[in-house]
């Protein structure tokens, strides 16, 4: 496994440690472990250099060079604030341990922006009627924007935020999506598929998924192009105490005339060419897993149906405004715009 390149046994030589550190290049830090992979300490080039200055030699055991109290996170108990603190201290390579302090993985904050405890679901079953004939033989999520399919931008962004368990709901030409991504191993993630035999709507297909491993779930449409900050979205969801939070798109309507305020037929005031701000549904949802009990069986159930049901049941439904880039690729004009935007948007 990839993370093992950062591990070194406590009885290895200093020369072996230097060889491994050299191979790790920019990510040069080793974690010293016993034969059960239990974390003992950390070791860097700087630790070895300081040891030489103190009079140690290559014949000394690496335990003499050890930093005995490295940072780490537990697999099942960490906070996003903790990860942000590591980042602020320029600590980029963080061991992930179980309750026996065995290293089970490495979080590289130079590559990943966070490690969000979320399962995710991507909706990829639609026919893409408005994009015909482009979607006649290719499902819309696999249409390429720039050098890769639309859905792959979303999968890569989820992986960037440490969301590694992804379920893709497929229907129209779904076998192509399954063949393209497989089980996700090539991206070091886990992808599974559920297949609708009829349209079930945004939330209806969740009834096809057997289980989730996290308390909260991220659901999104696969035909979006966005650089949403998933970590900030998640933090806002947790801190607000929301049951469901929907990502929203600020939308402004400019009225080209004076708008009159009328009361009992009389003009009370007027606003000259006002601009009204609204928020539209961005097609990305974070919600508590416990809300799945509100879903009907395998029947059509859209996002608006679900949110209206939650509001009627006094659940806390909030929105999160996307301040970065967002584009719903629904029509040919959107697709052409995406081809231009992708040259300039940082993902």
CATH of the domain at 257: 3.90.550.10
Examine residue 347 and state whether it is found in any structural domain, yes or no: no
Same domain? 265 vs 133: yes
293: Cβ contacts below 8 Å, ≥ 6 apart: none
Residues 204 and 265 in one domain: yes
Please say which residue of 108, 134, 152 terminates a domain: 108
The answer on 270 and 176 residing in a single domain is yes
Q: Is 225 exposed, middle or buried (0-12, 13-18, 19+ CB in 10 A)?
A: buried
Single residue among 60, 86, 108 that ends a domain in this structure: 108
CATH code for the domain in which residue 64 is found: 3.10.580.10
Three-state DSSP at 307 gives helix
Same domain, 224 and 78: no
Domain's final residue, options 66, 86, 108: 108
Residues 334, 276: one domain? Answer: yes
Q: What is the full per-residue pLDDT of the chain (347 aa) written as tens digits? A: 789 999 999 999 999 999 999 999 999 999 999 999 999 999 999 999 999 999 999 999 999 999 999 999 998 889 999 999 999 999 999 999 999 999 999 999 999 999 999 999 999 998 889 999 999 999 999 999 999 999 999 999 999 999 999 999 999 999 999 999 999 999 999 999 999 888 888 898 898 898 899 999 999 999 999 999 999 999 999 999 999 999 999 888 888 888 888 888 887 787 888 888 889 999 999 999 999 999 887 788 899 999 999 999 999 999 999 999 999 999 999 999 999 999 998 87
Do residues 273 and 140 both lie within one domain?
yes
Task: Tell me how long the chain is.
Answer: 347
* 304 and 336 belong to one structural domain: yes
Q: Is residue 113 one of the residues assigned to a domain?
A: no
Q: Is residue 346 part of a domain?
A: no
Whether residue 82 is found in the same domain as residue 146: no
Containing structural domain, residue 203:
119-341
**Strands across the sheet with 190-195, in order?**
190-195, 165-170, 119-124, 216-221, 275-288, 244-254, 317-321
226 and 297 together in one domain: yes
E strands, the chain, in order? 7-9, 30-33, 39-43, 73-74, 93-97, 103-108, 119-124, 144-145, 148-149, 165-170, 190-195, 216-221, 224-226, 244-254, 259-263, 266-271, 275-288, 317-321, 326-328
Residue 150 token pair: 């639309």
Phi and psi at 148, nearest 5°, equal: -150, 160
Reference 130, options 301, 325, 281, 335; nearest CA is: 335
Residue 326 sits in the same domain as residue 286: yes
Residue 79 token pair: 């906070």
Number of structural domains found in the chain: 2
Residue 284 lies in a domain: yes
pTM higher than 0.85, yes or no? Answer: yes
């Amino acid at each position: 496994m990839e993370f093992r390149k950062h591990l070194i046994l406590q009885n290895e030589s200093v020369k072996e440690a230097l060889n491994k550190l050299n191979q790790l290049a920019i990510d040069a830090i080793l974690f010293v472990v016993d034969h059960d992979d239990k974390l003992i300490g950390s070791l860097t080039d700087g630790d070895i250099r300081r040891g030489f200055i103190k009079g140690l030699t290559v014949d000394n055991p690496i335990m003499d060079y050890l930093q005995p109290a490295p940072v780490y996170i537990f697999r099942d108990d960490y906070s996003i604030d903790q990860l942000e603190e590591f980042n602020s201290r320029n600590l980029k390579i963080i061991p992930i341990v179980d309750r026996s302090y065995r290293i089970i993985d490495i979080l590289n904050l130079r590559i990943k922006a966070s490690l969000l405890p979320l399962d995710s679901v991507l909706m990829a079953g639609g026919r893409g009627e408005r994009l015909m004939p482009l979607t006649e033989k290719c499902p819309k999520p696999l249409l390429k924007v720039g050098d890769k399919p639309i859905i792959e931008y979303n999968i890569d962004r989820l992986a960037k935020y440490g969301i590694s368990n992804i379920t893709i709901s497929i229907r129209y030409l779904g076998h192509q999506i399954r063949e393209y991504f497989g089980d996700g191993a090539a991206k070091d993630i886990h992808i599974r598929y559920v297949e609708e035999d009829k349209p079930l709507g945004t939330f209806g297909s969740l009834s096809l998924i057997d289980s989730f491993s996290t308390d909260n779930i991220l659901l999104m449409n696969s035909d979006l192009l966005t650089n949403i900050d998933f970590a900030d979205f998640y933090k806002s969801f947790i801190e607000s105490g929301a049951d469901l939070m929907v990502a929203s798109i600020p939308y402004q309507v400019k009225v080209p005339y004076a708008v009159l305020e009328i009361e009992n037929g009389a003009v009370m005031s007027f606003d000259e060419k006002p601009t009204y701000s609204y928020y539209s549904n961005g097609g990305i949802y974070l919600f508590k897993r416990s809300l799945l009990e509100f879903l009907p069986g395998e029947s059509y159930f859209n996002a608006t149906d679900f949110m209206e049901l939650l509001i009627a049941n006094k659940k806390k439904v909030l929105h999160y405004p996307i301040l970065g880039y967002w584009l719903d690729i629904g029509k040919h004009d959107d697709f052409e715009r995406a081809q231009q935007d992708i040259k300039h948007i940082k993902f």
